[in-house]
Structure 1
Amino acid sequence: MSLTLERLAVDELTFEVRRSAQRKTLEITLDRGGELIIAAPPGIGQEVLAAFVREKRFWLYAKMAEKESRLQPLEAKEFVSGAGFPYLGRSYRLLLVDAQEVPLKLEAGRFKLRRSLASEGRRYFVHWYSSHARTWLRTRVRGWARRMALQPDGIEVRDLGFRWGSCGRGGKLNFHWAVMLMPVGIVDYVIVHELAHLEEPNHTPAFWQRVSRAMPDYGQRKAWLAEHGGRHVSL
């Protein structure tokens, strides 16, 4: 038996509508392939969905512009001595070495990678960023959570596609490993953004007020992330 997809057209935007009896709120997402999806409880009419979309129009266009920026062709990274690799907003030169106890490490202001592994350099850098993110983010999240009087149920670090972070069911926070390439102040914005979702699941005015109370200059950081974030996933 074939299932008919529910679609919603709002001006020049078209959405796939996904309904779930477990869902209590409306949510818009932009998936990997650029498809706009609106998640909704059963029984919510399309006129209500359309009004929700129009309310989120500015946010939607910002997310679409951010995604387009991240899809721009990036110069292929070469894993050769002298190449620069970012970590928390600073650039460190790579040095290929003949032997060391681990495949990749940051030591004395340089990334050092075994020369024999250079052809798989991306894999080792992603692993290094991911493993360091788990420790660094755990401490950083704890500090912000204390300031915001919130308590997440742990963190996960993985490839989130076009999202820098997400707040999962049960209060677990997820972060893209590539946040570790960006300046600390921008990573802090991602952390505060996801922590605020523990209280406000959607991007309502109350959500942004919650973010603003913790980080009054969040707008500047948010704009930086939208404009420059994609350039930091260049491996």
Structure 2
Amino acid sequence: MKVEIENKMIKVDVQYGNRKKLSIHIDSFGFITVKAPKDTSQEVIVSAIESNGKRILEKIHEIEVAREIPKAREYHAQGKFLYLGKECFLHELIDSSELNEEVLKRNLKKFYINSCKTIVEERIKVYQKQLKVKPKIIEIVESKAKWGSCSSDRKLTFNYRLAMAPIEVIDYVVIHELCHLLHMNHDRSFWRRVGSIMPDYKEKEEYLARYGHSMSF
């Protein structure tokens, strides 16, 4: 379902079930899910979204800003950068001797891209066996909006900045996207499948929402 709020079109996944009240949830990716009692009309759902429009837009804005605000870094051997959830000296990640800032930035980005590719491919091998799915293509990309995505042609993409996150957070994003090979929408079946592999996945979502802005260089 798509609903227009203040001239901005937002996509909403609606889940119907045995519940008494309607609720709206926005995860760390900016995905919006409405959980509603059975037989709830579309008009009621749209009205609920519109009445919470300001809060929804503010939350989406917070997520977008958090992913765009860069943290100032010092590009020298003792400068600190995140890798797998820990701060490391630049010289521990790449060769930092006698190189200018522009070259160091370029080489560090290559390091993150290559590391992310290696880690993601290894973790996919682990979880695709459990989920009994297999992606057709795996790509590492640069994105300000998403940590991962799954297309209808079974292509999975992952943000190279994930290499800065703890391995269990990377695992969550891998599981999240692999589960989309079974359920393209964020419906109840999707989250049930994610939870069957990683019961504490909400903690990983919270990590990305809270610390995603610091995963930059």
Question: What do the CA deviations read for 1:58-108 (whole angstroms, capped 9, x no partner)?
Answer: 987654432232234x3321211211112111222123xxxxxxxxxxxxx
Residues 1:229 and 1:50: Cα distance change in structure 2 (over 3 Å): same
Q: Secondary structure at the match of 2:170?
A: helix
Identity of aligned residues (%): 26
Corresponding position: 1:67 with 2:53: no
> Which of 120, 126, 130 is matched with 1:143 structurally?
126
Structure 2, unaligned runs of 5 or more: 15-29, 33-41
Q: Does 1:15 align with 2:11?
A: no
Where 1:77 maps in the other structure, the secondary structure is coil
Contact 2:141 2:160 survives alignment (8 Å):
yes
Superposed displacement of residue 111, structure 1: 3.5
**How many pairs does the alignment contain?**
189
Structure 1 counterpart of 2:190: 207
> What TM-score do you get using the length of structure 2 for normalisation?
0.73
Compute the TM-score of the two structures, normalised by the length of structure 1. 0.68
- Aligned pair partner of 1:83 in 63, 79, 82: 79
Distance 2:166 2:107 in 1: 21
2:148 is the counterpart of 1:152: no
Distance 1:26 1:189, change over 3 A: closer
Name structure 1 gaps, 5 residues minimum.
1-6, 19-24, 28-33, 37-45, 96-108
Contact 2:135 2:156 in 1 (8 A): yes
- In structure 2, the partner of 1:104 is none
Is the contact made by 2:85 and 2:165 (CA closer than 8 Å) also made in structure 1? yes
Q: 1:131-210 to 2 correspondence within 5 Å?
A: 131-210=114-193
Q: Go from structure 1 to structure 2 and tell me whether the alpha carbon gap of 1:83 and 1:208 turns closer, same or farther (over 3 Å shift).
A: same
State the one-letter code of the partner of 1:193. H
Which one has more relative contact order, counting CA pairs under 8 Å at least 6 apart? 2
* Larger CA Rg, structure 1 vs 2: 1
SS across alignment from 1:16:
strand
Structure 1 position 119 matched with structure 2 position 112: no
> C-alpha root-mean-square deviation of aligned residues, in Å?
3.3
